[in-house]
C-alpha cells in the first residue's frame, strides 16, 4: 500500500478542565499535525498531490484551529471568557480538547468530508503537542472512514 504523509504546523490554545495538573490552566501549543493518506489507485504515480492535501487539510486547520482556542463544550466559564473577548474558538463535539481527542475528531469526523471528494482516505492522524508528546489515531480498515461518527462544531 502506498501512503503519503503531510505535516501541517499550527498554533492553538486549550485547557483540560478536569485535569489535576498544569494543563487545567489556559495555555497553548505549537502543534504539528501529520495526516497519512491512502488512495485505492494512484493518479500520475501519486496517492494525491501534496498541494491538494495542503489546500484541503491546512485550509480547514487555518479556518478552524490555527490561532484559535479549542474548547471543551462543557467548559462554560472559558467559553464565556472567550466570547467576552471576541476571540476565535472551536468547540470539540465530544470531550476535552486533548491531543488524542483532536486526532480522533480529525480522523473520524473532519477528514472524510475533506478528502473523500479527492478520492482518498486518511488512515492515520498524529497531533504533536511538543516534540516529546505525540498522540495518534489510526484506522485498520480504510472503509471505516466512509462512516463519520458525528459532526464537529465551529463558532
Residues involved in catalysis? 23, 67, 129
Helices and strands counted in the chain (H then E): 5, 7
Report which of 155, 142, 134 is spatially closest to residue 38, judged by C-alpha positions: 142
122-140 as b/e: b if 16+ CB within 10 A: bbbbbbbbeeeeebbbebe
Report which of 32, 31, 7, 4 is spatially closest to residue 121, judged by C-alpha positions: 4
Residues in the chain: 155
For residue 132, what is its C-alpha cell? 516529546
CA distance 105 to 125: 10
Amino acid at each position: 500500500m502506498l501512503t503519503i504523509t503531510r505535516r501541517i504546523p499550527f498554533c492553538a490554545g486549550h485547557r483540560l478542565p478536569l485535569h489535576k495538573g498544569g494543563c487545567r490552566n489556559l495555555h497553548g501549543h505549537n502543534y504539528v499535525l501529520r495526516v497519512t493518506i491512502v488512495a485505492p489507485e494512484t493518479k500520475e504515480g501519486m496517492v494525491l498531490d501534496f498541494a491538494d492535501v495542503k489546500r484541503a487539510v491546512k485550509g480547514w486547520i487555518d479556518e478552524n484551529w490555527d490561532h484559535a482556542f479549542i474548547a471543551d463544550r462543557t467548559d462554560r466559564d472559558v467559553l464565556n471568557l472567550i466570547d467576552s473577548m471576541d476571540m476565535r474558538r472551536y468547540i470539540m463535539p465530544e470531550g476535552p480538547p486533548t491531543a488524542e481527542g483532536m486526532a480522533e475528531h480529525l480522523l473520524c469526523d473532519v477528514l472524510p468530508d475533506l478528502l473523500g471528494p479527492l478520492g482518498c482516505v486518511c488512515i492515520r492522524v498524529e497531533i504533536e503537542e511538543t516534540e516529546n508528546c505525540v498522540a495518534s489515531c489510526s484506522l485498520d480498515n480504510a472503509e471505516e472512514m466512509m462512516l463519520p461518527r458525528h459532526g464537529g462544531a465551529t463558532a
